[in-house]
Amino acid sequence: MSLLPSRVTRDPLCLVLVLIGAVTVLTGVCQLIAPGPILDLLSVDSTATSRHLFATVGMFMIIIGGLLIQGLLSATPPPYLLFWAGLQKFGAFALVGIGVARDLFGPLALLWPSSTWPPPCSAG
């Protein structure tokens, strides 16, 4: 027996999106609770300001990841859900890429889950 609705488990793309949402929530919690060690891992200067702002980003990751999961698990996912969650993921990926190109972050930052782009998922 699965904790996920069968329409999600039968659709590999929906399942991937639910997993992306879960990883986004998990990494957002890590950023919120321990921003300093994560910034160190990503080769970013860790100041009180950068840690606070990184924790704030983590809070938004929790919200967007949770929204994505809840929306995909609902009986009728809202049609705008993937647009806004995808826009957030695309924007995060683009801005992290710019940060890496400007030597603000180490290349490992490109692998951090906040910079993933979800594929489309059927709502039905």
Q: pTM for this structure?
A: 0.78
Q: Residue 39: which residues within 8 A CB-CB, separation 6 or more?
A: 45, 46, 50, 51, 54
DSSP state of 108: G
pLDDT at position 118 is 38
Residue pLDDT, tens place only, 62-114: 999 999 999 999 888 888 888 888 888 888 888 888 988 998 888 887 776 55
pLDDT at position 11 is 84
Residue pLDDT, tens place only, 5-26: 887 888 888 888 899 899 999 9
Cβ-contact 73, 8 below 8 angstroms: yes
